[in-house]
């Protein structure tokens, strides 16, 4: 083997572009490594008063440096949904992302139920419950919203990276003073 055969971005692109089809078990392993089942919480004044103006936004995504764009495009073809977009305005990291509730329910959830995750199985189960409940519009009622929000805060290491506590969000969706819940130390970056 000569190093001449292995240097340069062309080789990288050629290797990844020549993938004819991804093995589903490889996809599960890759998602267990680089994927994320996330439910972000946004404040939107246009949202119903009964949720305190908060909305839930479930996203399945897989991130890679832009030099590996080909594999993200391949994942988009594999799942027959989603799109590849930069993680931020000047970011060199791209994400294959699916945030359509219909695509999540119809394409993403059934796949990972047929091919179970290993590391991210618990987050996936919570994510699946949130997506299906939202498809039934349960999040539009206060009780449903609060239940799904609590599930979202139980995801990804019990929401430890979130910027807002569960109580801060719930404070805007309910007039009752709440006891600290088991996931109340969560803080959301999203």
Residues that bind a copy of itself (CB under 8 A): 1, 3, 6-7, 11-12, 15-16, 19, 22-23, 25-35, 64-65, 67-68, 71, 118-119, 121-122, 125-126, 129, 147, 150-151, 154, 157-158, 182-183
- In the complex, the smallest distance separating the C-beta of residue 82 from a copy of itself, rounded to whole angstroms, is 17
Of 29 and 172, which CB lies nearer to a copy of itself in the complex structure? 29
Of 129 and 168, which CB lies nearer to a copy of itself in the complex structure? 129
Backbone phi, then psi, for 42, in 5-degree steps?
Answer: -115, 150
Using alpha carbons only, what angle is made at residue 164 by residues 37 and 86, rounded to the nearest 5 degrees? 45
Kind and range of the H or E element at 30?
helix 24-34
Of 19 and 187, which CB lies nearer to a copy of itself in the complex structure? 19
Kindly tell me the burial class for residue 29, based on how many C-beta atoms sit within 10 Å of its own C-beta (0-12, 13-18, 19 or more).
middle
Using alpha carbons only, what angle is made at residue 156 by residues 45 and 79, rounded to the nearest 5 degrees? 85
- In the complex, the smallest distance separating the C-beta of residue 28 from a copy of itself, rounded to whole angstroms, is 6
Of 30 and 53, which CB lies nearer to a copy of itself in the complex structure? 30
């Amino acid at each position: 083997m000569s190093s001449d055969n292995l240097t340069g971005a062309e080789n990288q692109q050629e290797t990844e572009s020549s993938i004819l089809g991804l093995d589903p078990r490889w996809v599960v392993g890759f998602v267990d490594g680089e994927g994320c089942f996330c439910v972000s919480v946004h404040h939107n004044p246009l949202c119903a008063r009964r949720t305190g103006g908060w909305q839930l936004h479930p996203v399945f995504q897989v991130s890679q440096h832009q030099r590996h764009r080909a594999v993200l495009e391949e994942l988009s073809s594999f799942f027959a949904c989603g799109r590849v977009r930069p993680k931020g305005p000047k970011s060199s990291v791209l994400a294959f992302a699916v945030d359509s509730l219909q695509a999540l329910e119809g394409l993403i959830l059934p796949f990972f139920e047929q091919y179970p995750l290993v590391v991210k199985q618990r987050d996936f189960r919570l994510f699946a419950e949130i997506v299906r409940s939202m498809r039934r519009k349960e999040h539009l009622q206060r009780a449903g919203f609060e239940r799904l929000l609590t599930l979202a805060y139980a995801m990804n290491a019990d929401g430890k990276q979130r910027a807002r506590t569960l109580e801060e969000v719930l404070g805007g969706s309910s007039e009752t003073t709440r006891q600290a819940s088991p996931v109340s130390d969560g803080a959301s970056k999203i």
